[in-house]
Amino acid sequence: MTFLPQRFLLSCLVLFSCSFLLPVFSRGLIYKPPKVEQLTDHFHPTPVAGNMLTIFGAPNIHMKRNGSYADIILDKTSGSGLVSKEKYFHGFFSAAIRLPVGVTSGVVLAFYMSNSDVYPHNHDEIDFELLGHEKRKEWVLQTNIYGNGSVKLGREEKFYLWFDPTQDFHQYSILWNTHHIVYLVDNIPVREVIHNQASSLVYPSKPMSLYVTIWDGSEWATHGGKYPVNYKYAPFVASLGELEIEGCSLMQTTNSSSIGSCSKNIAHSSFDPLEGDEYIKLTKQQMVGLNWARTKHMFYSYCKDTSRYKVVPPECNA
């Protein structure tokens, strides 16, 4: 009399387990993010059109909502990209971005800071790179940093996202000052690079422009072109808005030299516009968020890539 109920319960358990595992195989485990401070609420959005210039692919850039938002597009004719009108030294840089839907292998959306146009051989860079998935209709988040170096000296870390970045806008933010660099996704820290003796050689130290680009990264992003962009699914349209730029702008003087000016404190010796403990170190809530992101969603770190780095970089042991 008890066999059938037990068998029924076992069947239900199996069905429940299978239904629970479906998202595991299609998107990975979905964890609820912890609550953290909303740093993006500390700053005011600024129009994309008023602060960014076209750097390439002008026909594939469409301003919307009176310039507050923009669509940047990749198709078989070209990718497209925007660059800030000014260069900045330290600050908070953020944008809300919605990624292209569908089959996006080989498509790369980058939100980053760089000065490679001025320092081609020893440039600095702080990157968010969103990579179209090789096989599934998903995206991977990669963070990277260069300091006084080249692309061969990158410090990549990769994450699976805990949301579908194609269905809504999500915030990608960079906090950069003399103390640390923090990468945040929807205000949750996913990576912190602390400025200390171990990291000093790779820590960005020169003013940079802010970029957002979409381009064909087939050869780089998909195992040497194994999963190239399939333009049958083009155009690939990314949207961005809620741009926040709070940094020290680098201005040219009449004698071609450069000076820094801070919007909050021009006389600040470090040219750091972000003052206060909330910008110098992570709070307890933010540390919880950082640990959550790295334990639940990070799947690659250069610090553990012994095939690439025979000697572990010094900052990995700091």
Which residues are catalytically annotated? Answer: 125, 129
DSSP letters, 227-293, are S---GGG--EEEEEEEEEEEEEEEEE-TTS-EEEE-SS-TT-TT-----SHHHHS--HHHHHHHHHH
Q: Which residue is listed with tokens 């990264």? A: 217
If DSSP codes are grouped into helix, strand and coil, which group holds residue 178?
Answer: coil
Cβ contact 318:192 at 8 Å? no
> Smallest Cα–Cα separation from 126: which of 155, 154, 146, 109?
146
If DSSP codes are grouped into helix, strand and coil, which group holds residue 9?
Answer: helix
Which residues are CB-contacts of 178 (< 8 A; sequence separation ≥ 6)? 90, 195, 270, 272
Q: How many Cβ atoms from other residues are within 10 Å of residue 229's Cβ? A: 26
> Smallest Cα–Cα separation from 173: which of 251, 289, 77?
289
